[in-house]
Amino acid sequence: MTTNILVALKCLAEENPKGFTVYVPSLEPVKRGWVVAKIETQNSFGDEGLERVLKYATATTGIVGYWNDDGTFYWDAVMVFDNEAEATAAGIANEQIAIYNIGNNELKML
């Protein structure tokens, strides 16, 4: 099953080069909320990074994010919050430089 999810996530990345956030294993898109990356999967790149992120996300948050920062593609296990203040606190605690609101495409620098 993990191999199938890895392949499906790579296909999603090809189809969505700007990024996406999905629940695993269903791969249903997250449609609203503030997204915060987990420090444990920070700086995850390529196949090895994706495998590490999927393993961590499956055991914890259940959510995988993929995003492009000026041509560098990142995989992250992420958390999603309805409340901006809680997301901001989690972002700071996880040493993130920004959090992202999916519902209104808003990036908030921390």
Residue 70: what pLDDT?
Answer: 83
Distance between CA atoms of residues 64 and 77, nearest Å = 5
Q: Has residue 1 got a pLDDT over 60?
A: no
- Write out pLDDT tens, residues 63-75: 999 998 888 899 9
pTM of the shown model = 0.93
- Write out pLDDT tens, residues 18-65: 999 999 999 999 999 999 999 999 999 999 999 999 999 999 999 999
